[in-house]
């Protein structure tokens, strides 16, 4: 279930994703403080994901595994791109902007239906159908009967 107001990823997942070597050298008290800062950043940036999901009424759907993992990734990358987070990867301003643009692009794709985060096909998936063709007066009548049966 999405849109709960909590982060999609944990501090441990954040640390595992970025693999910053200095975190292994921290004492437990310092690591707890770092994790608290990471958790706050993840929670703040999760609200952007919540807004995108709410825009397409996806807050109540059961997320497929791929969607859950993808939302974690969005959450982690956006949190690391915050300008004041001290416990993230070393990113210059240009790299931060590239990450933020990437996250915003994916959030837009969720909001406009290009990506159906609930596991549907999304609007860019091909749809196969057929059309009945009228060849004579008898097929025209059958087409009308079929339409009436479909619509009733």
Can you give the pLDDT of all 152 residues of the chain as single tens digits? 578 889 999 998 998 898 876 666 778 888 888 889 999 999 999 999 999 999 998 998 888 898 999 999 999 999 999 877 767 788 888 999 999 999 999 999 999 988 888 877 566 555 555 666 777 777 778 878 888 887 77
- Dig out the tokens for 145 from the structure: 């009967």
49 lies in a domain? yes
**What is the pLDDT at residue 97?**
93
117 lies in a domain? no
Q: Which domain range does residue 36 map to? A: 11-111
**What is the pLDDT at residue 4?**
85
Cα–Cα dist 60/112, whole Å: 18
151 lies in a domain? no
70 lies in a domain? yes
**What is the pLDDT at residue 111?**
93
52 lies in a domain? yes
Q: Cα–Cα distances in Å, from 102 out to 8, 12, 125, 137?
A: 18, 23, 22, 56
48 lies in a domain? yes
The residue behind tokens 């999304």 is 122
**What is the pLDDT at residue 113?**
87
SS3 116: coil
- Dig out the tokens for 139 from the structure: 């097929």
**Contact criterion met (CB below 8 Å) for 74 and 105:** no
Domain count, the chain: 1
16 lies in a domain? yes
- Going by C-alpha positions, the residue among 150, 82, 75 that lies closest to residue 110 is 75
The length of the chain, given as a count of residues? 152
- Going by C-alpha positions, the residue among 77, 41, 63 that lies closest to residue 115 is 63
């Amino acid at each position: 279930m999405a849109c709960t107001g909590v982060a999609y990823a944990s501090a441990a997942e954040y640390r595992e994703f970025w693999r910053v070597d200095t975190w292994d050298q921290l004492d437990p008290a310092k690591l707890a403080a770092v994790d608290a800062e990471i958790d706050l950043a993840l929670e703040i940036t999760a609200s952007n994901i919540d807004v995108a999901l709410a825009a397409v009424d996806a807050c109540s759907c059961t997320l497929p595994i791929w969607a859950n993992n993808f939302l974690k990734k969005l959450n982690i990358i956006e949190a690391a791109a915050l300008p004041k987070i001290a416990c993230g990867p070393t990113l210059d301003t240009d790299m931060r902007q590239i990450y933020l643009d990437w996250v915003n692009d994916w959030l837009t794709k969720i909001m406009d239906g290009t990506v159906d985060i609930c596991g549907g096909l999304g609007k860019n998936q091909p749809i196969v159908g057929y059309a009945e063709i009228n060849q004579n007066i008898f097929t025209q009548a059958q087409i009308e009967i079929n339409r009436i049966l479909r619509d009733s």
